[in-house]
Amino acid sequence: MAEKKLILTFSPEQVNTSITFRLARDFDVDVNILRAEVNERGGKLILALKGAGEEIDKAIAFLEENKVQVGEVARFVVRDEERCTDCSMCISICPVRAYRLDRESWKVVFEQERCIACGLCVDACPAMALKCGDNTTQMV
């Protein structure tokens, strides 16, 4: 099983097409919508695809054939290690427990792969050590 988190960009003309439905129906992948937004510039969708590597590749090829711009998101939230004081404010804010306190070092560990780009932690960090990463900035 592989997992890829993608950010899809739709032109304003495309926002009415049922791309995500076809993705789920026609390919053997789990589709989990993390964020969706539509404005005058079109639509953005962040989703996680889970399945066999080749099925995910086929799904991406389908999206590209349908003129959807596909980007892979490696990092939703970027932490400035210099600014982080290891206070742990982010820990109880995060709905998916991407942050945890290591009880040996008392440092806050961030598990990027759990992050779903909700952005709740960003304005909760008093040290201002958290920023939206990659191309998710406009979304959050």
Partner 1 sequence: MSKSYEEINSKIESGDAVVLTAEELKAAVQEKGVERTAKEVDVVTTGTFGAMCSSGAFLNFGHSEPPIKMTKVWLNDVPAYTGLAAVDAYIGATELREGDGMDYGGAKVIEELVAGKPVKLRATAYGTDCYPRKNIETYISLRTVNQAFLFNPRNMYQNYAVATNSSEKLLYTYMGKLLPRNGNATYCSAGQLSPLLNDPKLRTIGMGTRIFLGGGVGYVTWEGTQFKTNVPERNGVPAAAARALAVIGDLKQMSPDYVRGLYFHKYGWSLGLGIGVPIPVLDEEVVKNLAITDDKIFAPVLDYAVQSRARKPVKEVSYAQLRSGTIDINGKEVRTSSLSSYRKARDITVELKKWILEKRFLLTRPVEPFPAEQVQKTLEISSRTEA
- Nearer to partner 1 by C-beta: 24 or 93? 93
Tell the smallest beta-carbon distance from residue 124 to partner 1 (Å): 4
Q: Which of 16, 9, 56, 57 is nearest to 36 (CA)?
A: 9
- Nearer to partner 1 by C-beta: 65 or 81? 81
Any idea what DSSP says for residue 105? T
- Give dist(CA 40, CA 59) in Å, integer: 27
Residues 7-36 binding partner 1 (CB under 8 A) are: none
Rg over CA atoms, the chain = 17
CA–chain centroid gap for 66, Å, is 21
Residue type, 23: L
Residues 80-139 binding partner 1 (CB under 8 A) are: 85-93, 101, 105-107, 120, 123-124, 126-128
Tell the smallest beta-carbon distance from residue 108 to partner 1 (Å): 8
Interface residues toward partner 1, by CB under 8 A? 85-93, 101, 105-107, 120, 123-124, 126-128
